[in-house]
């Protein structure tokens, strides 16, 4: 019956479960990210079998850099999808941020990098706020508002690149911007980073469990914590070894790209906000039942505007990495497909389009899957058109899983 | 005034001097509440008294004005005319917040729960316990939630960390009620709490309603189901076409006289 009548007992039942039950305990009640991870592993195995270059240190590093833009755009979209909203303009908003950063740090303007970055991010946050205000005040569907917004931002961006800034493009001429994707940690710092991440995670988990135990609340079984930490350590060690392998052909290149710890930092901050703060709780509540949230006194419309702002801000960060990787942004280098990868990365990772379900880790996995598909198909020399087909099929599969999960949840009532 | 009031009037507020004859021992008293929607008169001069520690059942056919009345009490709609008294004092509740602050909690039929949050999250929605006003204090919230559910004898939920979307209808109702109780409600208004429930779950909810009354809370129960009403109610108030046609202790009514009030607004065979 009720465990609440005797909350001090640890999950002793789970401790005695057979292995399959324990695996279930590890995963949790909803499938979460597991099907996506399985899909990722299948894709990796497939591409590695077809092309031995796929898992080389060089290509894996390249793949992570490719994934970064998808990851940031996906994280941006998660803020909106959580509320059941969408922002279709994020791809161009990212391009806008990248262009602003490139233009203002180049030889003509010579702004310090941090000022240019700040301007770029402030601008994209403002664009998000604008969409948010329009959606909330005029009560228009975000799909249409941001579709229109997407055209507007695209037009303005192309105009700036072609007319305002002489030369039809904005090359990256500043080291910090370039190093976002080109720079690496030294091999030693790569290891330090991995060790620090694992250690901090362990401390956070143990402190939290201790506090629950002291309060007489149910604590998760030890094996679950150990398994999580073991998985995290294994992943960290493998990545550190791969990144520290020399991948340069003339001069040696070793170490973890700066982009990886930066993605990790944003992931950690966003996850903390979503899982541990009032702000995050309200985001989920509004996505789950906005009427209930409104009746609980949550200023729903203000939070919807915040979500659009965070979307714009995060897409702006993605744009900085995007322009860094492309080495510049010009009217001819614009790539309209990036726009939809934002939604794809979030949804493939498992974020619900219906609102209320999703985590910041999802677009990380979703972004890596997109990068694996794109990178892998190039390696096995499938025509570029197939890339779209495969991405589409994977996206369709992800949406189907989302819909089925939602239906099974409703059936439980 | 509602002309056709029958039954004894001793609990319905005898005329004693000031404040239009409101009995200060009553938790909530309504006097002459009317509500118009354009030309439609949804409520006509409703007088109603809700005592603490008892279950008052508000019954009536569809469109009789039950929902309009509870929305007027809960501050969702302002009545066109009439007065509300809270513990004998005249009050104005212009917004749902005003009513909540008085101690009136309304559990609507849709329960207003977030399926994607766990029980603790729903119980504290909008009132989260925090550290430094930002970070959620999960331990405090979880302990208090367990405490409240235990107090209300809600024993069927396995863990307060379960998602509300995975709960049964009766459990969901219990969570919605527990949330109201947690915020120091003195009057709990429940709109058709058993409408969508099976037999076992209905029994659980009725038990919960009685627990609330025994803890000194006033319960205003809106229901179509006379079996439920006669099972838990201490008092009955019948609405018919926007009028409160009859009210009094449940002992004054039989199942058939209640049905007659609901369908015709009068009781021809009244003793």
Across the range A196-211, mean pLDDT stands at: 93
B181 and B191 share one domain: no
Find the CB nearest A357 among B116, B125, B149. B116
Q: Are B165 and A7 in contact (CB < 8 Å)?
A: no
> Computed over its alpha carbons, how large is the radius of gyration of chain B?
19
Q: Are A3 and B158 in contact (CB < 8 Å)?
A: yes
What confidence score (pLDDT) does residue A306 get? 97
Q: Are B159 and A285 in contact (CB < 8 Å)?
A: no
A106 and A164 share one domain: yes
A121 and A146 share one domain: yes
B235 and B11 Cβ atoms separated by less than 8 Å: yes
Q: Are B165 and A279 in contact (CB < 8 Å)?
A: no
The shortest C-alpha distance from A366 to chain B (Å) reads: 22
Residue A69 token pair: 């833009």
Phi, psi of A336 (to 5 degrees): -70, -15
What confidence score (pLDDT) does residue A412 get? 43
* Among A35-49, A135-149, A167-181, B32-46, the least confident range: A167-181
Residue B158 token pair: 């396995």
Q: What is the domain count for chain B?
A: 2
pTM, two decimals, is 0.85
A129 and A97 share one domain: yes
The string of pLDDT tens digits covering residues A304-320 is 999 999 999 999 999 99
Rounded average pLDDT per 10-residue block, chain B, 271 residues: 41 43 84 90 92 93 88 88 91 84 88 92 92 90 92 86 89 89 89 86 90 92 91 93 91 90 78 46
A174 and A191 share one domain: no
Interface of B with A in 202-221 (CB under 8 A): none
Q: Which of A256, A289, A307 is the last residue of a domain?
A: A256
Contacts of A213 in chain B (CB under 8 A): none
A258 and A183 Cβ atoms separated by less than 8 Å: yes
Give the Cα separation of B262 and B258 in Å (integer): 6
The total of other beta-carbon atoms located within 10 Å of residue B264's CB is 11
* Among A104-108, A399-403, B80-84, the least confident range: A399-403
B174 and B228 share one domain: no
Whether chain A has a CB inside 8 Å of the CB on B113: the answer is yes
A72 and A170 share one domain: yes
Q: Which of B163, B185, B207 is the last residue of a domain?
A: B185
* B141 secondary structure, DSSP code: H
B139 and B191 share one domain: no
Across the range A153-159, mean pLDDT stands at: 90
Quick check: is B257 in a domain?
yes
Best mutation target among A30, A281, A351 (most B Cβ atoms within 10 Å) is A281
A63 and A168 share one domain: yes
Asked if residue A9 has pLDDT above 50, the reply is no
B271 and B31 Cβ atoms separated by less than 8 Å: no
Q: Are B150 and A4 in contact (CB < 8 Å)?
A: yes
ipTM at complex level: 0.82
Q: Are B157 and A287 in contact (CB < 8 Å)?
A: no
Quick check: is A209 in a domain?
yes
Q: Which residues contact A302 (CB under 8 A, 6 or more apart)?
A: none
B223 and B99 share one domain: yes
Whether chain A has a CB inside 8 Å of the CB on B39: the answer is no
What confidence score (pLDDT) does residue B58 get? 94
Quick check: is A69 in a domain?
yes
B74 and B133 share one domain: no
The shortest C-alpha distance from A298 to chain B (Å) reads: 6
Q: Nearest chain A residue to B120 by CA: give it.
A: A281
B265 and B170 share one domain: no
B162 and B191 share one domain: no
Quick check: is A46 in a domain?
no
What confidence score (pLDDT) does residue A168 get? 66
Whether chain A has a CB inside 8 Å of the CB on B166: the answer is yes
A226 and A341 share one domain: no
Best mutation target among B117, B150, B162, B169 (most A Cβ atoms within 10 Å) is B117
Contacts of B166 in chain A (CB under 8 A): 29, 409, 412-413
Closest CA relative to residue A361, chosen from A25, A101, A37: A37
The shortest C-alpha distance from A225 to chain B (Å) reads: 18
Q: Which domain holds residue A291?
A: 55-180+278-360
Contacts of A287 in chain B (CB under 8 A): 116
What confidence score (pLDDT) does residue A336 get? 64
Q: Spell out a b/e string for A40-77, using b for 16 or more CB atoms within 10 Å of the CB, else e.
A: beebbeebeeebeebebbebbbbbbbbbbbbbbbbbbb
What confidence score (pLDDT) does residue A363 get? 94
Quick check: is B123 in a domain?
yes
Give the Cα separation of A267 and A67 in Å (integer): 14
Q: Which of B185, B210, B240 is the last residue of a domain?
A: B185
What confidence score (pLDDT) does residue A333 get? 62
Residue A139 token pair: 């009560």
What confidence score (pLDDT) does residue A165 get? 65
Quick check: is B45 in a domain?
yes
What confidence score (pLDDT) does residue B269 get? 57
A87 and A76 Cβ atoms separated by less than 8 Å: yes
Q: In what order do the strands lie in the sheet with B218-222?
A: B104-107, B187-191, B218-222, B55-60, B235-240, B243-249
Best mutation target among B146, B156, B158 (most A Cβ atoms within 10 Å) is B146
The string of pLDDT tens digits covering residues A307-365 is 999 999 999 999 999 999 988 887 766 566 776 788 888 888 888 888 898 999 999 99
B175 and B191 share one domain: no
A294 and A73 Cβ atoms separated by less than 8 Å: no
A211 and A237 share one domain: yes
Average pLDDT, chain A: 85
B83 and B128 share one domain: no
Q: Are A409 and B166 in contact (CB < 8 Å)?
A: yes
Q: Are B166 and A289 in contact (CB < 8 Å)?
A: no
Indicate the pLDDT class of residue A244, thresholds 50, 70 and 90: very high
Q: Are A292 and B113 in contact (CB < 8 Å)?
A: yes
Contacts of B172 in chain A (CB under 8 A): 413
What confidence score (pLDDT) does residue B93 get? 83
Q: What is the domain count for chain A?
A: 2
A159 and A232 Cβ atoms separated by less than 8 Å: no
Whether chain A has a CB inside 8 Å of the CB on B125: the answer is yes
- What sign does the CA torsion over B215, B220, B225, B230 have? positive
The shortest C-alpha distance from B133 to chain A (Å) reads: 8
A300 and A213 share one domain: no
List residues of chain A with CB under 8 Å from any CB of chain B: 1-5, 7, 29, 211-212, 215-218, 276-279, 281, 284-285, 287-289, 291-293, 295-298, 356-357, 409-410, 412-413
The string of pLDDT tens digits covering residues A166-175 is 666 788 888 8
Q: Are A217 and B159 in contact (CB < 8 Å)?
A: no
Of residues A141 and A401, more confidence is placed in: A141
A66 and A141 share one domain: yes
B177 and B53 share one domain: no
CA atoms within 13 A on the CB side of B269: 7
Q: Is B254 exposed, middle or buried (0-12, 13-18, 19+ CB in 10 A)?
A: middle
B99 and B147 share one domain: no
Q: Which of A360, A384, A402 is the last residue of a domain?
A: A360
A79 and A172 share one domain: yes
Find the CB nearest B158 among A2, A281, A284. A2
Residues, chain B, total? 271
Quick check: is B253 in a domain?
yes
Asked if residue A213 has pLDDT above 50, the reply is yes
CATH of the domain at B64: 3.40.50.300
Indicate the pLDDT class of residue A264, thresholds 50, 70 and 90: very high
Find the CB nearest B143 among A217, A289, A292. A217
What confidence score (pLDDT) does residue A16 get? 44
The total of other beta-carbon atoms located within 10 Å of residue A26's CB is 16
Contacts of B149 in chain A (CB under 8 A): 4
Q: Are A29 and B139 in contact (CB < 8 Å)?
A: no
Q: Are B114 and A284 in contact (CB < 8 Å)?
A: yes
* Among A90-99, A393-402, B108-117, B252-261, the least confident range: A393-402
Q: Are B128 and A289 in contact (CB < 8 Å)?
A: no
Contacts of B139 in chain A (CB under 8 A): 211-212, 215, 217
The shortest C-alpha distance from A413 to chain B (Å) reads: 5
Contacts of B156 in chain A (CB under 8 A): 1-2
Q: Which domain holds residue B36?
A: 1-103+187-195+218-271
B191 and B180 share one domain: no
Closest CA relative to residue B204, chosen from B194, B189, B216: B194
A166 and A285 share one domain: yes
Q: Which of A360, A377, A406 is the last residue of a domain?
A: A360
Q: Nearest chain B residue to A275 by CA: give it.
A: B136
Whether chain A has a CB inside 8 Å of the CB on B129: the answer is no
């Amino acid at each position: 019956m009720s465990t609440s009548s005797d909350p001090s007992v640890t999950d002793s039942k789970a401790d005695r479960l057979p292995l399959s039950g324990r695996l279930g305990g590890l995963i949790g009640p909803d499938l979460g990210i597991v099907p996506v991870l399985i899909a990722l592993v299948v894709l990796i195995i497939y591409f590695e079998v077809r092309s031995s270059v796929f898992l080389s240190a060089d290509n894996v590093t390249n793949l992570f850099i490719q994934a970064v833009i998808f990851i940031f755009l996906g994280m941006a979209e998660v803020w909106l999808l959580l509320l059941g909203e969408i922002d279709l303009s994020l791809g161009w908003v990212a391009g806008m941020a990248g262009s602003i950063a490139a233009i203002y740090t180049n030889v003509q303007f010579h702004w310090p990098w941090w000022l240019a970055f700040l301007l770029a991010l402030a601008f994209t946050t403002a664009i998000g706020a604008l969409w948010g205000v329009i959606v909330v005040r005029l009560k228009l569907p975000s799909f249409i508002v941001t579709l229109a917004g997407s055209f507007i931002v695209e037009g303005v961006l192309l105009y700036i690149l072609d007319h305002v800034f002489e030369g039809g493009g904005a090359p990256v001429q500043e080291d910090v911007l370039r190093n976002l994707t080109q720079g690496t940690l030294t091999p030693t710092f790569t290891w330090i980073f991995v060790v620090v991440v694992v250690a901090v995670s362990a401390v956070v988990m143990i402190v939290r469990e201790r506090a629950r135990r002291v309060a007489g609340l149910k604590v998760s079984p030890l094996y679950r914590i150990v398994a999580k930490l073991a998985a995290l350590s294994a992943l960290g060690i493998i990545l550190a070894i791969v990144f520290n392998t020399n991948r340069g052909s003339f001069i040696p290149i070793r170490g973890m790209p700066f982009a990886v710890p930066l993605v990790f930092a944003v992931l950690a901050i966003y996850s903390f906000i979503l899982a541990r703060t009032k702000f995050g709780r309200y985001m989920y509540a509004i996505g789950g039942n906005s009427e209930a949230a409104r009746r609980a006194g949550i200023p729903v419309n203000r939070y919807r505007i915040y979500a659009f702002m965070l979307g714009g801000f995060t897409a702006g960060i993605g744009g900085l990495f995007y322009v860094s990787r492309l080495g510049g942004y010009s009217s001819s280098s614009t790539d309209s497909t990036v726009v939809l990868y934002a939604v794809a990365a979030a949804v493939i990772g498992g974020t619900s389009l219906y609102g209320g379900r999703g985590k910041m880790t999802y677009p990380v996995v979703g972004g890596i899957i997109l990068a694996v598909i794109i990178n892998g198909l190039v390696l096995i020399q499938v025509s570029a058109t197939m890339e779209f087909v495969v991405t589409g099929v994977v996206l369709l599969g992800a949406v189907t899983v989302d819909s089925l999960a939602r239906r099974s949840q409703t059936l439980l009532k | 005034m509602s002309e056709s009031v029958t039954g004894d009037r001793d609990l319905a507020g005898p005329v004693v001097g000031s404040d239009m004859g409101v009995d200060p021992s009553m938790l909530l008293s309504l006097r002459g509440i009317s509500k118009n929607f354009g030309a439609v008169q949804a409520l006509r001069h409703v007088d109603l008294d809700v005592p603490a520690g008892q279950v008052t059942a508000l019954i009536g056919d569809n469109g009789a004005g039950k929902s309009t009345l509870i929305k007027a009490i809960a501050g969702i709609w302002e009545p066109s005319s009439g007065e509300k008294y809270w513990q004998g004092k005249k009050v104005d509740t212009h917004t749902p917040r005003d009513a909540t602050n008085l101690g009136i909690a309304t559990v609507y039929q849709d329960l207003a729960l977030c399926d994607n949050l766990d029980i603790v999250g729903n119980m504290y929605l909008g009132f989260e316990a925090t550290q430094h006003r930002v970070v959620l204090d999960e331990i405090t919230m979880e302990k208090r939630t367990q405490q409240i559910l235990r107090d209300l004898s809600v024993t069927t939920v396995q863990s307060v960390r379960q998602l509300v979307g995975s709960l049964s209808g009766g459990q969901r109702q219990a969570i919605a009620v527990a949330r109201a109780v947690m915020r120091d409600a003195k009057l709990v208004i429940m709109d058709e709490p058993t409408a969508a429930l099976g037999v076992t779950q209905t029994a659980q909810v009725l038990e919960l309603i009685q627990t609330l009354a025994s803890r000194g809370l006033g319960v205003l129960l809106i229901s179509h189901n006379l079996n439920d009403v006669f099972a838990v109610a201490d008092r009955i108030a019948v609405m018919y076409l926007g009028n409160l046609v009859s009210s009094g202790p449940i002992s004054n009514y039989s199942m058939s006289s209640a049905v007659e009030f609901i369908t015709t607004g009068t009781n021809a065979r009244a003793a």
